[in-house]
Amino acid sequence: MTALVDTPPLTRWHGLAREHGVAWNDLVLVAVNLYGIRTPLGARIRLLVRVAGERESRVVVVPAGRPDSPFELVEDRLCVDGRTLARVERRAVDDAVPGYLRCWDGRRWRAATLNPNARSRCTGCAFCPTTLEDAVDPRLRLEDEIAALLAGLAAQLPPGGTLRDLAEVTISTGCFHTEQAALDHLRTVRRVLTEHGLTPRIGLLTSVLRSREAFDEIAREIGPFLLFLTAECASRRDVLLKASKASLTPEEMPGLLARARAAGLRTSFTYVVGLDPYPLMRDFLRTLLPHCTVFPSVQVYQSHTPLMDLLRAEDAGELAYYLDIRREIERAAAPRGLVPQRWRCYRPLWYSTYAGRPLTGPCR
């Protein structure tokens, strides 16, 4: 490892790893999410990488074509100043696909993500790379079309695998502009799953489900259910978010999560680290964590263009900003029994360790 510390970025990173008590593997993966890669392979690429010295491979989805990035893709090696930090075992352009399998436990896929509302057609938020992705996700409206999507997932299963192995199906598409539209869609998804003999928990990333009546209805008719409130940021919401998200204020979010939890639903949220000033980010996250039953999807802000660079909060271009909030979240979340599930997020702050302990379980 000492051979790596004679170049400026690596010298700084080793110092940060020691200062924050962060495993080198974790720091490298957070850094590649933050800085992206110098490569002409599209605007956004999906990589299966193995950091040098590590046993496990991880999927990362990162900005490409970033000329100022310290990372460079050289054949199958991820390098900084010519030094190999990781091996790339698989690469692909990141398309907006209608669905994919998640949570590989070594024998079976235990979760799936569906994009049945045409993610590529979402108007998107200012920080989201959706509009940069090639569209291969037809809009799915009817039960038989969703059934066709399930059939497509079934075709990707390993020998002996079945969709009944899935414990959770998450709908990640936004674009439900009203609470009623989201409820109607959830009913359709549950009906199709039931018709196929499937009983997984349904997860939904959304900010339009807000009322006690909606949560009670979900508990009665759609559950088991996991709400991922798309919080995203606490500042500049009218600038950074589409209207359906921006209409929900940060002050309303703790109460919303509390209502969902009181209805018997599992609760969590999504948040993009890098958009808010540090003190505001820290205090905002502290208000949401007490109302979560599942560790939140806390994601590194990824800039794909010079214009997107301008959306970053002050100091959010520095790796220390992300390692600092990683430590703060651990202090607030770990005592509540909240632990990251490594497969849930492709650009998290945690990979192999959390609050000083190893993370285990599926990682893709």
Work out the pLDDT band at 316, boundaries 50, 70, 90: very high
Q: Are 128 and 302 in contact (CB under 8 A)?
A: no
Provide mean pLDDT across the span 144-172: 94
pTM beyond cutoff 0.85: yes
Is the residue at 361 inside a domain? no
Cα atoms in the 13 Å half-sphere on the side-chain side of 68 = 8
Which domain covers residue 136, as residue numbers? 95-317
Is the residue at 328 inside a domain? no
Q: What pLDDT does residue 135 have?
A: 47
Tens digits of residue pLDDT in 13-41: 999 999 999 999 999 999 999 999 998 77
The answer to whether the bond into 358 is cis (omega within 30° of 0) is no
Is the residue at 60 inside a domain? no
Tens digits of residue pLDDT in 280-306: 999 999 999 999 999 999 999 999 988
Is the residue at 312 inside a domain? yes
Number of domains the chain is built from = 1
Is the residue at 293 inside a domain? yes
Query: Which pair of structure tokens corresponds to residue 70?
Result: 């310290």
**What CATH number does residue 248 fall under?**
3.20.20.70
DSSP state of 216: H
Is the residue at 61 inside a domain? no
Cβ-proximal residues to 284 (8 Å cutoff; 6+ apart), any chain:
231, 234, 250, 276
Is the residue at 279 inside a domain? yes
Is the residue at 153 inside a domain? yes
CA distances from 132 to 60, 120, 122, 219, 344 (A): 17, 9, 11, 36, 22
Q: Are 343 and 295 in contact (CB under 8 A)?
A: no
Work out the pLDDT band at 125, boundaries 50, 70, 90: low
Residues above pLDDT 70, as percent of the chain: 90
pLDDT at 4 over 50: no
